[in-house]
Structure 1
């Protein structure tokens, strides 16, 4: 039997389906965010996708550097979409980010 609440178990299963090759370090960080209280009102699939996009953007792209260089949020997001999609593909994710997609980050 898997430990944790039903939501935690459902979230782990959904993460495995969404990102079959995600590194453990990233998977743990994504689950921490997806299970955070401020996302509790969302269905697991939406909370998980928001956590995934935030993790990829902040940990696997130049997003933070672009912000520091003075780019606004929307411009920085535009410039990192390709890198985000490359990471998602590497992790085995069939879903991709779109330029106009809102993710709650």
Structure 2
């Protein structure tokens, strides 16, 4: 059994490693920084902060999400159109969890 994390950064980093065991180091650091700097994630438990930051990072960096927004699509539509690409990236990183168009289905799939 491993020791408890000493601080929030370490706790989120450990959560990222559990959620995405094949996440490259550079990507892990970027997702970690996103989790730590996001005002909306400050009060979230480390596992939740890690997941939400990981998904947001992958969506913005590895899909056409931002281009779709620039083309005038609303957030929900843009998220729908990049869903398969987003889940493919998460799968490459070893995530067992996926993102869904159905928020209730996603909550049920949470670890």
**Ranges in structure 2 where 5+ consecutive residues have no aligned partner:** 105-111
Aligned length: 99
Match of 2:47 in 1: 45
Among 48, 61, 64, the alignment partner of 2:63 is 61
* TM-score normalised to structure 2 length: 0.82
Report 1 or 2 for greater relative contact order, CA contacts < 8 Å, sequence distance ≥ 6.
Answer: 1
Matched residues in 2 for 1:101 and 1:27: separation?
A: 25
Q: Which string of whole-angstrom CA distances, capped at 9 and with x for unpartnered residues, describes residues 28-87 of structure 1?
A: 110001122612211111111110111010000000111111111110000001001000
Deviation at 1:12, TM superposition (A): 1.3
Match of 1:83 in 2: 85
* TM-score normalised to structure 1 length: 0.86
